[in-house]
Structure 1
Amino acid sequence: MAGCRTNAKGNAMPISIRIGNQDLTVDVSSLGAEMQALTSGDGRSWLWTGDAAFWTGRSPILFPIVGKAPDDKIAIDGTVYPMAQHGFARRSEFALAASTETMCRFELAASEATRAVYPFDFQLAVVHAVEGRALTVTAEVTNRDPKPMPFGLGFHSAFAWPLPGASGRDHIVTLDNKGEPALVRLEGGLINPAPLPSPFNAGRLVLDHSMFEQDAMIFPDGAGEGLAYGSEGGPAMRFHFKNLPNLALWTKPGAPFLCIEPWHGTAAEAGASSELSKRPSTTILAPGAVASFAFTVEIPQ
């Protein structure tokens, strides 16, 4: 199936696919295989709208790095390549490989353009699938190269803050494991690895925009495989993560969204090597191997 249309100059034009059922509708763009809308059957919208006044992203896929690299450059076996923050997948046109009423699969394969900055033969497939009131987003990375392939993979979905029907209420993130994971912060976009006290208390974090004046809150370890994001006495979204050991929470102070970001890989550490394989939580995928990462979000009644 064709993944995109072309304009009069032959340039790719993104397409949009809508999947869903009576409970949940999801719109996905071929540009970045990025979710554009998440709407319950009663018309409530749970995903950020991408208002350019704050941030145009909605739910980008981060690959082959998460976060920044020193001077926007990575090294692979000593050779230096340019690499923008969060990698190139989010600005790449994916091909539509399959779709049904409740599922769509977009694929990005290595090209001359990607090899210029990331010298590997890979395939990145992103699947959105709806079942009942739940959406599962899966990223599947295949190493088609004869050598081991290092990469980071992350999700960067932004959800409404306040949630529908919850204006004026406190909003809370609650970890399923009731943990109090250590916090790290960014300095110039790079990780300062010195751990800070956890803002969680027995797994509970009452959100405040002032928490994001120093950029994202990043939890490299211990946030667990699931959480709830909801309002005090109001609706809550429930999340489950697969093969995503790192967690970040982010917004721009005053912006009406909260990014819930499960990752496998983080920004480079300040002062550390620019080698991609040395970044925290990097996956090194054997030739011919496939790695899968996923999150599921359930929308409240």
Structure 2
Amino acid sequence: MFTVTKQSQSEPVYVLNDTESQSSLTIFPDRGGIATSWRVGDRELMYLDADRFTDPSLSVRGGFPILFPICGNLPDNAYSIDGKQYSLKQHGFARDLPWQVTHQSSTTDASLTITLESNEATRQVYPFDFSVSFTYRIRGNELVIDQTYTNKSATPMPFSSGLHPYFAAPNKEHLTFEIGADSYQEKQTGEIHSFAGKFDFSQAEIDAAFTNVKGNVATASDAGQKLKLTMTSSQQYRTIVFWTVAGKDFYCLEPWTGPRNSLNTGVDLLHVAPGETMSTNITFTADFT
């Protein structure tokens, strides 16, 4: 049995449930459309810093923040279109704006669609009219996130999109990864490092960008939790970023459609023609070994 429940709190909260598998997903549309909890059986798979989440002045550290219309940061937060300069902060504005619930279903799965429309404030920093929709679906041990990007402008719309998921990891030394790349670039130094499935977690911070990913499947195996997470994405997702900091029980395995600064460099930058819609997809599967 599938259910979608709206809970009455200070802000709307929606909970998707699959009662047979005892899986659930919790979504806060007004807080950037973020999903804050994904449970399968009695296992919470996500990390959430509850203190930061209750303070709207702080960026959320946890759950599934949505990245749009850029992933990562721009030099001096600046980019130019048609000779005019604009400013966008890191990861764009989608994670900070309220999204509207536009559809829900509990027939073949539990699903909720949320939509972000352009407005005067977004046009000041990103001169395009758009409609972006994310549909969260859960069924069994699988979480599917379908996305559509509609360009309502008269000119092609450039963008990057992604997710910044925080997965719970009580002991990161138990983690191994299959990412489809044998090297990554370190953000702090710009250096290229070889990769054989493990990171050195003695570092204060790891911020690694894999931009030469082959295939559309990545896995994270946690021997301590006897958990294997598989991330499958549509072909537009060509970059995977791994991020974590010492002393915190999380790691981020982030699917991005393009690397940092794509709005300026054009590398893997997506474009939607006027009046057209682009569809993308990311699926997470949790297997307990």
Q: TM-score range by the shorter chain?
A: 0.7 to 0.9
Match of 2:99 in 1: 94
Report the secondary structure of 1:115's partner residue. Answer: helix
User: What does residue range 1-301 of structure 1 map to in structure 2 within 5 Å?
Assistant: 14-22=11-19, 23=21, 24-30=23-29, 31-41=31-41, 43-52=42-51, 56-101=61-106, 102-162=110-170, 167=171, 170-175=174-179, 177=180, 179-180=181-182, 182-187=183-188, 192=190, 196-200=192-196, 205-210=197-202, 213=205, 215-232=206-223, 234-242=226-234, 243-268=236-261, 276=263, 278-301=265-288
Q: In structure 2, what residue type is equivalent to 1:21?
A: D
Q: Cα distance, 1:237 vs. partner? A: 1.4
Aligned equivalents of 1:128, 1:107: Cα separation in 2:
12
Deviation at 1:230, TM superposition (A): 1.5
Q: CA deviation at 1:263?
A: 0.6
- Whether the aligned pair in 1 keeps the contact of 2:26 and 2:37 (CA below 8 Å) is yes
Q: Unaligned 5+ residue runs, structure 2?
A: 1-5, 53-58
Shift of 1:78: 1.7
Go from structure 1 to structure 2 and tell me whether the alpha carbon gap of 1:52 and 1:219 turns closer, same or farther (over 3 Å shift). farther
* Contact 2:188–2:207, Cα closer than 8 Å, also in 1: no
Cα deviation for residue 79 of structure 1 reads: 0.8
Q: 1:185 to 1:197 in 2, by over 3 A?
A: closer
Distance (whole Å) between structure 1 residues aligned to residue 167 and residue 172 of structure 2: 16
Letter aligned with residue 171 of structure 1 = L
TM-aligned CA deviation for residue 184 of structure 1: 1.2
Cα drift, residue 187 of structure 1: 4.3
CA distance change for structure 1 residues 209 and 173 in 2, over 3 Å: closer, same or farther?
same
Q: Distance in 1 between matches of 2:266 and 2:239?
A: 13
CA RMSD of aligned residues (A): 2.5
Residue matched to 2:56: none
The CA deviation at 1:133 is 1.2
Q: Tell me how far 1:206 sits from its aligned partner.
A: 2.3
Per-residue CA distance 1:94-138 (angstroms, 9 max, x = gap): 000011230000000010111111110101101101122100112
- The Cα of 1:277 is off from its aligned counterpart by 5.3
- Among the aligned pairs, what percent are the same residue? 26
Could you report, residue by residue, the CA deviation over 1:38-64 in whole angstroms, capped at 9, with x for unpaired residues? 0112x2100112244796342111000
Q: State the TM-score, normalized to the length of structure 1.
A: 0.81
- CA–CA separation in structure 1 for the residues paired with 2:259 and 2:38: 26
Cα offset, 1:211, TM superposition: 5.2
Number of residue pairs aligned between Structure 1 and Structure 2:
268
What residue identity is the alignment partner of 2:67? L
Distance, in Å, in 1 between the alignment partners of 2:172 and 2:268 is 38
Q: Secondary structure at the match of 1:116?
A: helix
